[in-house]
Structure 1
Amino acid sequence: MVIQKSGSVDTGHDTKEPIDEKPADAEIVSVMGSENGDEALELVGKERTQQFSEEYNRRLRRKLDFIIPPLCAAVYFTQFLDKTSLNYASIMGFPITGQQYNLVSLAFYVGFLIWEFPTVYISQKLRVAKYLGCNVVVWGIILMLQASTSSFSAFFALRFLLGMCECCVAPTLILIISMFYKKDEQGVRVAYFYVMNGLTQVFGGFVAYGISFYSGKAIAPYKIVYLLLGGLAILVGIAVILWLPDSPVHARLLSKEERIAVLERVREDQSGTTNKRWKKDQIIEAVTDIRTWLIVLSTMMTSIPNGALSNFSNIIIKNLGYSSRQTLILSTPAGGIAAVMTLFCGWYSDRFMSRMVPIVFALVPTIVGAAMLIGLNDSGQKGVLLFAVYLIGTFGSALSTIYAYNASNTSGHTKKNTINGMTLVSFGLGNIIGTEIFQPKDAPNYIPGKIAILVLLTVQLFLCYLLRGINLHMNKQRKARLEEEKARHGWTDEDVQKERERHAFMDLTDKQNLFFVYTT
């Protein structure tokens, strides 16, 4: 039997000073008799009483990998495909053009921005996966409705509602990954769903290319895109409702023993799982943490180019001198390059427990590509400029790594949700700005927009190193404080491990929990 029982753990020894009930140091938080802890306490309690073999944990992780990453990937695949459906429609007879097209692009992110905090609040009160699945079904219906109209006002309203439904996706997926996987496994698992951004570009390009051969008069080609993608979203939403677990405590596809094992796997990371109660002190800590605002700013630096390129990349390629049909097929390699970069950054992120360095890897090719598009604009070298367009797609991996950063560097359920919400609000605001940096008056070359991308991502390089430096400094301070506490309480290394385990599921924030270690 792989599971081994041990007796309950004594939290103190006669010869050693126990942890203070109300310590003078705010970093050591008493966990005695807490009523505000994680729901994981229902299954595993404050102290580890069961041990699982490495082989058992490996088999359990493989089982999780067959359930969670594929469903997360399906949701993200659907979301990005649906969000960028306008990009394909724009060269397939879409009736809205010029500044009205910009406004329709913008409407999605306005809905996204306005509804982000309400959706995070609602999701914390409900079963997160069920809430996510219902949103996917609803946005599939909304997407199909876009095939029923040709008016600007209707498209604007439907895109606005689409943004409201889709804004719950990233916070929910980040939260689920952080509940089921250890820190050194999260980067790759986030990459597994975020890689869909690149793969959807390949898939969507080929689908749109195939539809472009349709010559019937019964329905416009862009409407076929909306009906097809909307139907796919509804199927994915139903699958999420049925099979994606809300948390380790409520994972119906796992036995009770496996649910306990999942929680014991992540106990050491001190990140916890979920708590239905919103805590004011955790909100205050989130908004007063300088790292939160650096993540918000970094997200915006990435999201402005994303808002521009997700709606205008096909237009840029077409303006190089290609036909609409050629553009659809020529846009697909960019997705493949983006997918490879995302997987590489996810692997590197976990292999070296680094979150900021992979972002630099993702940004540099985009900066080079943007510089090529600006400097070689009048060269007439279509092949070189097309290659530059492919290069600028690598920056998307940066946002994947930011998501992994949030999952690994934030503890306390309310603080997690607050920071994830702020990150996605920044994402929405950045994309709103991004839809306006490629102005009709700058067509066909859009030089000001390309310069903006170059500048923004260069600034983000410096933000990455600043965040990395802050986390390294905080870990150094945390280590010194822990040594002081060991000496003050007379703890052995075994006592420290016991205290670390007892703090894991008390829904403490990373700053409240002395045993939390930041990933750089």
Structure 2
Amino acid sequence: MTDSVDEKMSKIADSFDEKKGQNVVRLRHVLSTEELKDVDEAFQYGIDTEDFVMDPEKEKKVLRKIDIMILPMMCMLMTCQLMDKSTNSYASIVGLRTDLKMTSQEYSWVASSFYLGYLVFEYPANMLIQRFPLSKTLAFAVVSWGVIICCHGACHSSATFLLCRTLLGIFESFMDPSYMIMTSQWYRKEEQYIRCGIWLGLQGFGTMLGSGIAYGFYLHKDSFHFAPWRLLYIVTGVITIFFGILSFFHVPDIPAKAWFLNEEEKKYVVERIRLNRTGFGNKKFKLAQFKEAMLDPCIYLFFFYMVGYGITNGSIGNFGSILLKEQFHFPTGQSLLMNMIGSGIDIIFPLAFALLNHYFVPSRLGVGIIINVLIFIGLCMLAFAPENPAKLVGFYLSYLTTASWACMSSVVSSNIGGHTKKITANTAFLVGFCVGNMIGPQAYLGSEAPIYITAKRVMVGTFVLTIVSQILLLVIYVWRNKKKQTESKNYDDADGQLTFGDMTDLTNPKFTYIL
């Protein structure tokens, strides 16, 4: 005979007695055994804070503490990621292609092979992030890719270099989904865009640092026993390893276990994300949520958005220095320094557009559409303007893609409920990113150097996907919010399921989409 409900509740109480003490009494009256497995990790902490009233001034202090302790580390790891990815662009004009006897096609695959590894491992990476402690898993991946970056400097053939790039893509596939989840764990929905603008924008220091290191090695190349590009990979790899180890000890796996917060502040953290209705996460894979994601048109719009984005990103990210040197006729050293202008755009404009949304334009997707229209104009100038100065302006307008990424990643973080659905959405988002980044470099035909007109036309034609996708998302979210406003009146959240029940955005009647 099966246990009665009361007996099951008693077993739950016994199993939690040592860890949660008196709080178990409340859990016993809320959830069954099976329900307890399905809820978000934040649920047991939410029981503690169910009747907790926050002081607005204390909440501001907690937010400042989170910003001070978490954001700088996020920014440093993002700096390492972009620095490591962009080293190809710098190395390509300081001896990499010559020393490894790379053809134009082989160099295109240097860029695409990274995203091939990223693409193949993206969903397994998301599953590992769900199953194991997030920050520890990410730190392991960061240290691993730092080691692989160092190995780039030891390559003596195109084949071994391509292998290193593929392995690098595998381990970097952990980074972006981890940060999208962390942003939704630590910040309210209305705070997420600005924080995405900060941690994504400040990755511009990565390209700035990378181009500065490359320039220094190039300037003093006669003083070293190694080729400048080899030293570039070794130094950037060592920097990455250092910050990966630091993040292992510094970043907590979930906010409620933060070592830098006292018990009262931890309650503030839980209460702050209560209305997000996205929780901290759930380690159980839920097939129903996966199926819902596969039937949700928004997931496919995320994918197509990132395909259009990725084609331009992969093109400029890997061939930017080559265009500056070959098409715009800047000397090698100056071409390396000219990359710093793009780095400055990366740093300033993601946060600037986030502030535009915060103070002047209430629609986050509306701001994203503005950004992408500006990028599209820049790509048209780069491809079709008659004079080089206008083409150069268009080239730098394309660097607004980082601002576009910040906007859209905050939409994905805010508008997907249910942890399995969230990792599926993150995967679709980043698979689109990989597909685009694989396609972009392949459009650079050696026979068309230094103009590469086919690649520029491909960027112009495919970037329309990003604008159309955002317009359709805005229409869908407006319609869904109106529908939920009508239906939500019939529901309450007495047992906490609508808040921390790990429900999806579609099944949770109280879920509100950010527009």
Q: Is 2:75–2:198's contact at 8 Å kept on the other side of the alignment?
A: yes
1:254 match: secondary structure? coil
- Summarize the Cα distance change of 1:506–1:158 in structure 2 as closer, same or farther, 3 Å threshold: same
**Does residue 147 of the first structure (1) align with residue 153 of the second (2)?**
yes
Q: Which of 381, 384, 388 is the matching residue for 1:372? A: 381
Match of 1:71 among 62, 70, 73: 73
Partner of 2:499: 504
- Measured in 1, the distance between the counterparts of 2:497 and 2:264 equals 20
- Normalized against structure 2, the TM-score is what? 0.89
Give runs of ≥4 in structure 1 deviating > 3 Å.
30-33, 348-353, 498-502
Cα shift at 1:373: 2.1
The percentage of counterpart residues that share the same residue type is: 28
DSSP 3-state at the match of 2:41: coil
Native 8 Å contact 1:171 1:420 kept in 2: yes
Farther-moved stretch of structure 1 (474-483 vs 202-211): 202-211
Change (3 A) 1:217 1:74: closer
Q: Distance in 2 between matches of 1:343 and 1:311?
A: 24
Structure 1 residues 22-61: aligned runs within 5 Å: 34-35=35-36, 36-45=38-47, 48-61=50-63
2:399 maps to 1:402: no
TM-score (ref. length: structure 1): 0.88
Please tell me the root mean square deviation across aligned C-alpha atoms, in Å.
2.0
Deviation at 1:459, TM superposition (A): 3.4
SS of alignment partner, residue 353 of structure 2: helix
Q: 1:31 touches 1:503 (CA, 8 Å); kept in 2?
A: no
Q: The residue matched to 1:508 in structure 2 has which SS?
A: coil
| Residues 1:370 and 1:44: Cα distance change in structure 2 (over 3 Å) | closer
Tell me the CA shift for residue 32 of structure 1: 7.0
Where does 1:113-132 land on structure 2 (aligned, <5 Å)?
113-132=119-138
Give the letter for the 2:89 counterpart. Answer: N
Matched, 1:344 2:352: yes
Matched, 1:167 2:173: yes
Determine whether 1:518 maps to 2:513.
yes
CA deviations 1:457-486 (Å, max 9, x no partner) are: 233222211110110010001001123x26
Match of 2:331 among 323, 327, 347: 323
Q: 1:361 aligns with which of 357, 370, 381?
A: 370
Shift of 1:386: 2.3
Match of 1:108 among 96, 111, 114: 114
Contact persistence 1:270–1:411 (CA under 8 A): yes
Judging changes above 3 Å, is the alpha-carbon distance between structure 1 residues 516 and 31 closer, same or farther for their aligned structure 2 residues? farther
Contact 1:182–1:266 (8 Å) recurs in 2 = yes
Query: Of 276, 281, 284, which residue of structure 2 is paired with 1:274?
Result: 281
Q: Is the 8 A contact 1:141 1:234 kept in 2?
A: yes
Distance in 2 (alpha carbons) for counterparts of 1:350 and 1:38: 29
Q: Match for residue 195 of structure 1?
A: 201
Match of 1:92 in 2: 94
Task: Give secondary structure in 1 for the equivalent of 2:223.
Answer: coil
1:389 aligns with 2:391: no
> For the structure 1 residues 216 and 265, does the alpha-carbon distance in structure 2 shift closer, same or farther, using more than 3 Å as the test?
same
Residue 14 of structure 1 corresponds to: none
1:308-334 Cα deviation digits (max 9, x unpaired): 110001111112111111111122112
For 1:475 and 1:46, the matched residues in 2 are separated by: 30
1:52 aligned counterpart, secondary structure: coil
Cα–Cα, structure 1 residues 122 and 459, in superposed 2: closer, same or farther, change >3 Å?
A: closer
| C-alpha contact 1:205 1:328 (8 A) present in aligned 2 | yes
2:228 corresponds to which letter in structure 1? P
Matched to 1:315, the amino acid is I
Question: How far apart, in 2, do the equivalents of 1:63 and 1:46 lie?
Answer: 21
Compute the displacement of 1:501 (Å): 5.2
The aligned counterpart of 2:298 is 291
Q: What is the CA–CA distance in structure 1 between the aligned matches of 2:128 and 2:224, rounded to whole Å? A: 44
Q: How far apart, in 2, do the equivalents of 1:334 and 1:82 lie?
A: 16
Where does residue 446 of structure 2 map in the other structure?
Answer: 440
Aligned to 2:11: none
